[in-house]
Amino acid sequence: MRWRMDPDITRYMNTDPKLTLEGQKLWFARISADPDVRYWIVEVDGEAAGVINLTGLMKEDGILGWAYYIGEKRLRSMKLALSLEMSLYDYIFDVLDKEALVGDIFTLNKGVIQLHLLCGSEILEEKKHHVCKGNVWYDVTFMRMTKERWGQIRNKKNYEKISFGL
């Protein structure tokens, strides 16, 4: 809850929530029972560091959405980000046998866009003035990794494998 309300996190997200413990308990119960989504706590050396999630698990087209953030600033690293993203690709395409993973990023978040490009994702499009938050309009960049593309480039990538348990 603290991470999700941190201005360093929310400045790149569609909303700036004011969460309550009771509201979080309801949200957690809802997502725990929803077969269309999956959430994980990201751990670094046994310490909770962030959150990663998938959406669209029940869609027949095999295209999933995703998002993540590392809320504990001292645990953020390029190595973690690369390993997390590319290990998620392995999970999506090898374990879940899905076709594509898509995400949207505020265009001003250049570092994350570059990270996704480094991992092999492609830019699909940029939508101008796509999200309004706090009376400010933000451009959003949409990106994608496909099963086919990951199969072509995976062996050229060097990353530490991260396990996505259920």
Distance in angstroms (rounded) separating the CA atoms of residues 140 and 57:
23
H-only helix segments in the chain: 2-5, 7-10, 21-32, 78-90, 110-119, 147-153
Q: What is the pLDDT of residue 158?
A: 95
Cα 71 to chain centroid distance, Å, stands at 13
Statement: residue 126 has pLDDT above 90: yes
Taking each helix axis from N to C end, the angle separating 78-90 and 110-119, rounded to the nearest 10 degrees, works out to 50
Residue type for 121, please? S
Q: What is the pLDDT of residue 13?
A: 77
Angstrom distances, CA of residue 152 to CA of 90, 123, 155, 156: 13, 17, 8, 9
pLDDT grade for 6, boundaries at 50, 70 and 90 = confident
Most confident of 17-26, 67-76, 114-123: 114-123
Q: Residues 59-69: pLDDT tens digits?
A: 999 999 999 99
Q: Look up the CATH number of domain 2-156.
A: 3.40.630.30
Statement: residue 12 has pLDDT above 80: no
Predicted model pTM: 0.90
What tokens appear for 70 in the block? Answer: 């590392």
Question: Which residue ranges make up each domain of the chain?
Answer: 2-156
Q: Residues 53-102: pLDDT tens digits?
A: 999 999 999 999 999 999 999 999 999 999 999 999 999 999 999 999 99
